[in-house]
Amino acid sequence: MQAEVFITQTEGGFVEISVVKSGLSSGAAHKYETVEKAKAVLLAFGFDSALVDRQLRSVLETPPHALLRLPVAEIPDDVLTSLGFTAAAFTAA
């Protein structure tokens, strides 16, 4: 599915990844305790390693809850499901 991916740092220092199906206003999100775990998820989505490193470095330098947007990506449904990214909105559209 074509999706928008956002990352943010939470107050507790977790990295949160949100996936929103293109054309929708909400989707699924997960928090990761370490940058390495978040990086593994973003790489599984098919993003370039250099882009992921830049974006994660940036998100850690911004205040908590500031969203950084990654480029729109085509992420296979089975990859999303295997990583726990499921939302009613994904199937409703």
Better pLDDT: 48 or 1: 48
What are the extents of the domains in the chain?
2-92
- Token representation of residue 88: 């009613």
Tens digit of pLDDT for each residue in 22-60? 777 778 899 999 999 999 999 999 999 999 999 999 999
The pLDDT value given to residue 87:
61
Which residue's structure tokens are 């296979």?
A: 76
Residue 91 pLDDT exceeds 70: no
Distances (CA, A) of 32 to 8, 16, 24: 11, 6, 24
- Closest by alpha carbon to 82, among 44, 29, 38, 34? 44
